[in-house]
Amino acid sequence: MNPRSLLFVTADSERKLAKSADADGEWNFALRSARLQCLLVARALAVDPIETVTTDFRNLDALRAECLRARAAGFTAKLAIHPEQVGVINDAFQPSPAELEHARRVIAAFEAAPGSGAVALDGSMIDIVHLHAARRLLGSRKG
């Protein structure tokens, strides 16, 4: 874990924001909003946003689904409260070979066009945001 991270921890938020779930069992609006703000602030500060724990530690299928949703939202990791969760979390947040290859190709496209703010790749225009995301995925924070 990056020593410069921002954690979203629901237990603290639940005490401050009252009831945690709505009638459908989903987080209430206040918790969803706090989670989004954590993610946005972490990105603005260029630190890793870390998702909260899954307290149902024996339900590894639910954990995996939560991890995939968190990763899709932009979180870079998830807290674990039980050793059995670690492997599922690590697998879910590990980039696929295709994602790694795409990131390498994005970086190569920008390196082939120094100073450009946007380049073409696979018939689409990509911009500096894509370059930053590719570098972040590959663990490089240059530029």
Question: Known catalytic residues?
Answer: 127
Would you put residue 4 in left (φ > 0), alpha (ψ -120 to 50) or beta?
Answer: beta
Question: Do residues 134 and 107 lie in contact, with contact meaning Cβ atoms separated by under 8 Å?
Answer: yes
CA distances from 22 to 18, 27, 30, 135, 142 (A): 11, 6, 10, 38, 42
Which of 1, 6, 10 lies closest to 55, judged by CA? 10
Which of 142, 141, 133 lies closest to 106, judged by CA? 133
User: Strand 5-7 and strand 118-121: pairing?
Assistant: unpaired
Distance CA 92, CA 85 (A): 11
